[in-house]
């Protein structure tokens, strides 16, 4: 039997298991949620992670910005405010966007593929990326949002996810870290009701809150923006090392981890620098953490740039494989073979993806094993 015949036989075996397309189209939940959200406004919930700084000032210890705030001032994130000598979060339970999203949009490719999630984001972010994809609400104050943020506390959010049959809730779009109180308390309630909670984050956060977040949720996707201190400083308004530490924390404490690397032309698309980042991944968190190499489209303050050339994306994906990473995907490139999952041992296409359309071909979702060679693929498949 030739290798090709062997792979075709294995693929047929996967289909014989009754594996079928799991996902067609995602029905938005924005309208159905609109019927139950409460009043608009600002949260008055006391924040976690701060300390008194004398003279009525407070020091926020959530992220490496360590904002020291006078009464009435807010941090760089725009949502954590000194009120009478205490730090308050202005976004607890208040959402800027809520909708039904494919799990693959996360992107989460090794976590319940083909399902859909209640995805939401608040206003605000503690980074200021020049290419922010959701700058309309991530880079503003809550009171400047139009239409205003809607109130969706944890109990209501969990109730709606159950009502519409979503197995997961995903905090995404903006930065979940700056709403950590909302995320963690939602996760606790979700778990009591049999639901999972996922987070898409830039992970610019201090070690202790990152540990608490990772232990509270079920999966984390971290934007690994570049293996470059200057990129973080000049393009994102942050620093690299806290993110590297957060990635290692997530690997240790989060049940599941994936990474996303958005390729910005002329900014973080150096092949040599990317290879160094892949080496760091392999050495510090392992070869089997999925890496999504995502296409950039002009946005916010980098509208003058072109979209990432497709050849560049494929070049970087090949470089990641050459460095030993086992699961490397291309994002924002619908229909490319790089969207699909391949067995690192026998090479069979295990999961076929075309955008958000998913078909399991060569993986048994009950065991997570390749139907050809039997190797176990890391992730949560059912």
Which domain, by its residues, includes 57? 45-89
If asked whether residues 201 and 298 sit together in one domain, one would say yes
If asked whether residues 8 and 65 sit together in one domain, one would say no
d(CA 184, CA 205): 15
Mode of pairing for the β-strands spanning 328-331 and 341-342: unpaired
Q: Stretch 92-118: mean pLDDT, rounded? A: 97
CA nearest to 352, candidates 101, 19, 102: 19
Quote the crossing angle between the two packed helices 154-163 and 180-192, to the nearest 10°.
50
If asked whether residues 213 and 298 sit together in one domain, one would say yes
Helix (H) or strand (E) holding 248: helix 241-253
If asked whether residues 234 and 200 sit together in one domain, one would say yes
If asked whether residues 76 and 207 sit together in one domain, one would say no
Domain containing residue 32: CATH number: 3.20.20.70
Tokens of 141: 């104050």
If asked whether residues 158 and 246 sit together in one domain, one would say yes
The answer as to whether 163 is a domain residue is yes
Helix (H) or strand (E) holding 105: none
If asked whether residues 58 and 118 sit together in one domain, one would say no
Tokens of 250: 């997530």
Looking at the chain, the whole-number percentage of residues with pLDDT higher than 90 is: 88
pLDDT of residue 32: 37
* Segment 281-314, tens digit of pLDDT: 999 999 999 999 999 999 999 999 999 999 999 9
If asked whether residues 60 and 149 sit together in one domain, one would say no
Helices vs strands, H then E, count in the chain: 10, 22
Domain closes at, from 27, 55, 89: 89
If asked whether residues 194 and 78 sit together in one domain, one would say no
pTM for this prediction: 0.91
The answer as to whether 341 is a domain residue is yes
Domain closes at, from 54, 89, 124: 89
What phi and psi, each to the nearest 5 degrees, are found at residue 325?
A: -70, 145
If asked whether residues 324 and 310 sit together in one domain, one would say yes
What is the three-class DSSP state of 164?
coil
The answer as to whether 346 is a domain residue is yes
Question: Per the omega criterion (within 30 degrees of 0), is the bond before 140 cis?
Answer: no
What phi and psi, each to the nearest 5 degrees, are found at residue 13?
A: -65, -35
If asked whether residues 61 and 153 sit together in one domain, one would say no
């Amino acid at each position: 039997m030739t290798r090709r015949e062997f792979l075709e036989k294995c693929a047929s075996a996967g289909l014989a298991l009754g594996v079928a397309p799991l996902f067609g189209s995602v029905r938005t939940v924005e309208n159905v949620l609109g019927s139950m959200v409460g009043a608009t406004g600002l949260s008055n919930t006391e924040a976690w992670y701060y300390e008194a700084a004398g003279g009525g000032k407070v020091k926020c210890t959530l992220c490496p910005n360590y904002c020291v705030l006078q009464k009435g001032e807010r941090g760089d994130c725009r949502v954590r405010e000194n009120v009478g000598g205490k730090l308050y979060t202005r976004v607890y339970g208040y959402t800027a966007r809520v909708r039904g999203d494919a799990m693959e949009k996360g992107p989460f490719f090794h976590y319940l593929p083909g399902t859909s999630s209640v995805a939401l984001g608040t206003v605000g972010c503690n980074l200021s990326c020049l290419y922010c994809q959701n700058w309309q609400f991530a880079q503003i104050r809550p009171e400047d949002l139009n239409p205003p943020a809607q109130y969706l506390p944890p109990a209501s959010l969990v109730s709606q996810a159950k009502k519409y049959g979503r197995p997961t809730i995903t905090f995404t779009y903006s930065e979940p870290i700056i709403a950590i109180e909302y995320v963690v308390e939602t996760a606790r309630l979700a778990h009591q009701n049999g639901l999972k909670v996922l987070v898409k984050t830039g992970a610019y956060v201090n070690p202790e809150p990152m540990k608490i977040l990772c232990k509270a949720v079920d999966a984390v996707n971290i934007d690994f923006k570049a293996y470059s201190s200057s990129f973080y400083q000049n393009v994102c308004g942050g620093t690299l090392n806290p993110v590297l530490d957060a990635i290692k924390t997530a690997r240790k404490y989060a049940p599941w981890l994936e990474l996303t690397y958005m390729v910005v032309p002329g900014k973080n698309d150096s092949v040599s620098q990317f290879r160094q980042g892949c080496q760091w991944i392999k050495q510090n968190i392992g070869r089997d953490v999925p890496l999504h190499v995502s296409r950039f489209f002009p946005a916010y303050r980098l509208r003058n740039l072109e979209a990432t050339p497709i050849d560049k994306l494929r070049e970087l994906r090949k470089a990641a494989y050459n460095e030993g990473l086992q699961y490397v995907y291309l994002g924002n490139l619908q229909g490319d073979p790089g969207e699909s999952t391949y067995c690192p041992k026998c090479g069979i296409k295990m999961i076929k993806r075309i955008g958000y359309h998913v078909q399991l071909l060569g993986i048994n979702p009950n065991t997570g094993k390749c139907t050809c060679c039997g190797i176990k693929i890391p992730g949560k498949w059912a």
